[in-house]
Amino acid sequence: MLFLIIKRILLGLITLFIVSLITFVGTEILPGDACTTYLERQAFGEQLEACYRRLGLNVPAYERYVSWAVNAIQGDFGYSLSGEMPIKEVLGPRIKNSLVLASAAIFIGIPIALILGIVTALWRDKLPDVAISTVTIFAMTIPEFISATLLILIIAIWLEWLPGIVIVPTDVSFLELLPNIILPVIAIAMIMTAHMARMVRSSVIQVMASEYVQMAILKGVPYWKMVFKHVLPNALLPAINVVALTIAWLLGGVVVTEVVFNYPGLGRLVIESISNRDLPTVQALAIILASIYVSINLLADLMTLMLNPRLKTLQIRK
């Protein structure tokens, strides 16, 4: 068991190493570098040399990779170009804001998804299922940028209930941020919740058709006891991995939504730094997003391992 956990963690670290290599090599291959971008037309002769020296670009690429990697592990991603300030400081509040947005979507989305999925499965082909399923399929097919725009149009512009665009400084306090995040959270949560609800539904339906559920019925187990003891634990186990994938996939949704709402989070930073050719920041963002992705999947794997008696005992026996 322990061996398996260590193995999974090691695999995750290897993935991160490869991602860092790819982004590094990618930024190397692209024509131009930080200094030519920064100096623009003055990028020649003495000035360019000086810039190279200042940013440490005059040493061979592998040396730069090693020193960058060593610093990155310690949380130091070097200097951003546009602001000439440490990337660490640029990232800090952005990460916080994005985390607020994503976790709000997750904490609202997962319970709703579970309830909707279970309800639709238990009342399969009856009115609650037909009604909810229609809505979820509809919600699944609309991309975030459309639902976000529609939300702004209806709630912010027509009804004037909430602000449509977030115009707050990056390092605003949580309470001040709150009214601003409601619409982005809805936009993100909608598609994710719909997706998960469908997964939970099919998983529950599959378990409901299993022989052990039929056996529980024939044993005289009352309906709701059967649902909670015999159906849900077995149905939600495979759903854990799907939820993890959906959350990881939500990162992409966050980028789009943040741009639409002008929300000061990681997603907008990604777009900004790409368009500014701020390569050190892009590099740092790639690593951070990849680590989030890897750790969510790792967490899901470990949870499945802990909860599934079959996997658990198999590992112990070996």
**What is the closest distance, in whole angstroms, from the C-beta atom of residue 87 to other proteins in the complex?**
41
**What is the closest distance, in whole angstroms, from the C-beta atom of residue 310 to other proteins in the complex?**
5
Contact (CB, 8 A) for 119 and 132? yes
79: phi then psi, degrees, rounded to nearest 5: -105, 140
Rank residues 169 and 222 by Cβ distance to other proteins and give the closer one: 222
Rank residues 41 and 310 by Cβ distance to other proteins and give the closer one: 310
Rank residues 82 and 234 by Cβ distance to other proteins and give the closer one: 234
Strand partners, 86: 79
Distances from the Cα of 15 to the Cα of 12, 22, 100, angstroms: 5, 11, 26
Return residues touching other proteins (CB under 8 A): 209-223, 229-230, 233-234, 237, 308-310, 313
Rank residues 15 and 308 by Cβ distance to other proteins and give the closer one: 308
3-state secondary structure 16-78: HHHHHHHHHHHHHHCCCCHHHHHHHHHCCHHHHHHHHHHHCCCCCHHHHHHHHHHHHHCCCCC
Residue with tokens 């499945």: 304
Spatial neighbors of 296 by CB under 8 A, at least 6 apart, are 244, 247, 248
Q: How many Cα atoms are found within 13 Å in the side-chain-facing hemisphere of 24?
A: 19
Rank residues 192 and 204 by Cβ distance to other proteins and give the closer one: 204
**What is the closest distance, in whole angstroms, from the C-beta atom of residue 209 to other proteins in the complex?**
7
**What is the closest distance, in whole angstroms, from the C-beta atom of residue 211 to other proteins in the complex?**
4
**What is the closest distance, in whole angstroms, from the C-beta atom of residue 234 to other proteins in the complex?**
6
**What is the closest distance, in whole angstroms, from the C-beta atom of residue 180 to other proteins in the complex?**
43
The DSSP call for residue 158 is I
Q: How far apart are CA 168 and CA 290, in angstroms?
A: 28
